[in-house]
Structure 1
């Protein structure tokens, strides 16, 4: 693994440190500590690097800098982790509001240099521009994962029909395309004692409420402070709380595809919130 890191960063590795899964920490000969990630599929590292750079370009939230990448490897600066705090959560909320306001060319648009065939975690994610949010969300963020779950035997025909009917009831939205992290569950928010850092994006143009609904789904430290600070900068549209289930359909269906029946009930319940 030393050769690709040296090639991508221009610096030799002086020490390797274990992390979880396919991640490793590497100490470079200039003293920097980086995280080295091997992509799970062709294009995964390219998509993630493009997403990190797109988020960083908004100058709104803290993200690790990309030290180098190719088709197999991604090297980013390490984030030192510490405790969360209410003050950091408020900065995160204001930062997310600015990030979303930075916008995207269209719903479904990939970051500059990103790919149409991208990933959210280990699941494929299509990034192709759509004309309006409701039809794009149904066709690109709900139904593809329903079909995968049906093919795997996780959903039966009746459940598939429920999702198809729910897609016909997705309300139109006047929101412009937001610049989304795209996989904003609590595990992708790292706290260093002062700031919240966002890692592992599945960045694309989407509805800003989707990022916030993901924070609700698996919990986030000081979530009330995050949302309060967000709304100081960019108030959410009336009835936002009633649409959380709608926006959680996407991550719940992704989890159903990746992890099976344990998430299917939650996904069905979210679909039923559409009436």
Structure 2
């Protein structure tokens, strides 16, 4: 605690009056801090917090709500604390607007300036010019040796078909990269994007992830706007990546999620 207190004091000019744990990720610890000057901040520690800070700033620069980064030092990230509220219709509508705003920001290529990770699963982001190539090489087959042999063969067969199944060069939208409902913080009239894993890619990737564990309500869809023709056929291709991540992180209980996507795609 002494090290944390000293770092907070050096970054924010105030001490810690109280702290309590908040839920965090696989490689991070998150705390809510009450400071001696009356402010409340969130402190997150982990090996990738500097990369996360860069992503949060990118989200805010795109005009989408995200917690403000207050300071970064070593493995400590300090962010503004937000009051969480229930996810009502207005909040989902706000998320639709926010996500459309995020996806309106476009980059020069597919990928990101640095690699990232979900727990022990590396996420390579080295830029590529072809979107089907990126989805195959940087996502579905980024680490083929980590997959069971039978699944690896089926995924490889799918990847050979990706040039026919995915657009060659969709706009390189700014993606949240891990957009499930747990990574949205509803606060008053806003929907804040938290715990990003950003990169430039096809905007449908975020929408597919948001539908992986349940469908968002009509208010979200109305606010986000019309989707591109063929989006429903592409969705299982984009959902296959987080399904594979869950299989690798959490074990065979998620094999059925992978199998279901491969089956609907005919592999």
Say whether the fold is shared (TM-score over 0.5): yes
The alpha carbon displacement at 1:56 in A equals 0.3
For residues 265 and 145 of structure 1, the distance between their equivalents in structure 2, rounded to whole angstroms, comes to 20
| 1:58-77 map, 5 Å | 58-59=62-63, 61-77=64-80
Residues 83-103 of structure 1 deviation map (CA, whole Å, 9 limit, x = unaligned):
111122112112211110111
The alpha carbon displacement at 1:180 in A equals 0.4
RMSD of aligned residue pairs (Cα, Å): 1.7
Could you list the structure 1 runs, at least 4 aligned residues long, displaced by more than 3 angstroms after superposition.
none
For residues 269 and 147 of structure 1, the distance between their equivalents in structure 2, rounded to whole angstroms, comes to 21
Contact 1:146 1:253 in 2 (8 A): no
The alpha carbon displacement at 1:73 in A equals 0.9
Q: Higher RCO, 1 or 2 (CA under 8 Å, sep at least 6)?
A: 1
Other structure's SS at 1:238 match? coil
The alpha carbon displacement at 1:146 in A equals 4.0
For residues 70 and 223 of structure 2, the distance between their equivalents in structure 1, rounded to whole angstroms, comes to 31
The alpha carbon displacement at 1:274 in A equals 2.9
Question: TM-score of the superposition, structure 2-length normalised?
Answer: 0.90
Match of 2:209 in 1: 214
| 1:58-97 map, 5 Å | 58-59=62-63, 61-97=64-100
Which among 134, 138, 143 is matched to residue 132 of structure 2?
Answer: 134
Other structure's SS at 1:218 match? coil
The alpha carbon displacement at 1:14 in A equals 1.8
Other structure's SS at 2:219 match? helix
Question: TM-score of the superposition, structure 1-length normalised?
Answer: 0.87
Other structure's SS at 1:168 match? helix
Q: How many residues align?
A: 256
Structure 2 residue runs of 5 or longer lacking an equivalent are none
Which among 227, 236, 241 is matched to residue 245 of structure 1?
Answer: 236
Which among 136, 159, 163 is matched to residue 151 of structure 2?
Answer: 159
Match of 1:143 in 2: 141
Residues 139-161 of structure 1 deviation map (CA, whole Å, 9 limit, x = unaligned):
0011124432x3xxxx2x22210
Structure 1 residue runs of 5 or longer lacking an equivalent are 111-115
Match of 1:34 in 2: 41
For residues 110 and 210 of structure 2, the distance between their equivalents in structure 1, rounded to whole angstroms, comes to 20
Which among 175, 181, 190 is matched to residue 186 of structure 1?
Answer: 181
The alpha carbon displacement at 1:4 in A equals 1.9
